[in-house]
Copies of this chain bind each other. A is one copy, B any other.
Amino acid sequence: MINVVILGTGNVAKHLLDVFMTHDGIKVVQVYGRNQKALSVFGKFVPTTSEISKIILADIYIMAVSDDAIVEIASRLDLKEGLLVHTSGSIPMKSLPKKNRRGIFYPLQTFTVGRTVDFKEIPICIEAENDQDYGLLKQLASIISNKVVGMDSKQRKSLHLAAVMANNFTNHMYFLSNEFCEQKGIPFDLLHPLIKETAHKIQDLAPYEAQTGPARRNDKGTLKKHLAQLKNKNHKELYRLLSKSIRKTYGKKL
């Protein structure tokens, strides 16, 4: 049985509590949070505290707080023993206080309130300063996920940037498309099946191969007509730059 304290009451904390509670090998012995209202939701299921001095003994302390808060909260902790990890993609392990046994427990997923995700599929990237702690993290991660990956802070930082491109920028494309549809009185949900298929396609096919559209074909007529249709400056600029980038990608290899 691995005893865990979760530090934080946000989205990631809630998803971790939910998945930990469904597995016998893990016991969440406490949740710490400063926000009383958020904490009360956790209090329905496990012991909670809003006082840092009342944090109890555990095998692993998982910080699921915003990137900005990690260093500050970690510095105020006074852990007698146990392994301290955080869940951020971009903060190095060495940002945690030296006095602690340190590690990383980074689930690579976008977490949304009210949406259940299948943790079995989610890669969990782990890192630790010594083999024993690495083994402990691997044990914990393997209970909830089939994809546990050892990764140092430098690689994790790169992975986080790749995730921003594949997730945040992609979602912004959906937003721009949605905004344009609204301007033209077209229901955006017509595009839902297309969006799903595009995301599924690259599970089998490299994105390089999966690319379609006027820029890939260098269909100058359509590119010109599309640019003429766009009145919003932001849409125009992004259309131009992304089409240029696609043309360059395929131009090279023609």
Contacts and interface: CB of A to CB of B under 8 A. Distances in A.
Interface string A186-197: 101011111111
Interface in A112-140: 112, 115, 117-118, 121-123, 125
Interface in A191-205: 191-205
A47 interface: no
A109 B194 contact: yes
Contact of A246 (B168, B193, B226): B168
B108 A211 contact: no
A173 B184 CA distance: 25
Contacts of A249: 172, 175
Interface string A168-182: 111111111110110
A163 B186 CA distance: 11
* Listed residue (A159, A173, A238) with the most chain B CB atoms within 10 angstroms of its CB: A173
B212 A121 contact: no
- Chain A, interface size category, equals 35 or more
Nearest to A178: B207
How many copies the complex holds: the figure is 2
Interface in A33-91: 67-68, 90
B211 A175 contact: yes
A212 B195 CA distance: 18
Contacts of A155: 184-186
Given A109-B194, A168-B213, 12 more contacts: A90-B214, A115-B201, A158-B184, A159-B181, A159-B186, A159-B190, A162-B180, A162-B184, A166-B173, A167-B194, A168-B211, A169-B242
27 contacts: A108-B194, A110-B197, A121-B193, A123-B190, A125-B190, A157-B229, A158-B181, A158-B184, A161-B226, A162-B177, A164-B214, A165-B173, A165-B239, A166-B177, A166-B194, A167-B191, A167-B195, A167-B198, A168-B215, A169-B173, A171-B210, A171-B211, A173-B173, A175-B208, A176-B245, A237-B241, A238-B241
Interface of A: 67-68, 90, 108-110, 112, 115, 117-118, 121-123, 125, 147, 149, 155, 157-159, 161-178, 180-181, 184-186, 188, 190-208, 210-216, 219, 222, 225-226, 229-230, 234-235, 237-239, 241-242, 245-246, 248-249
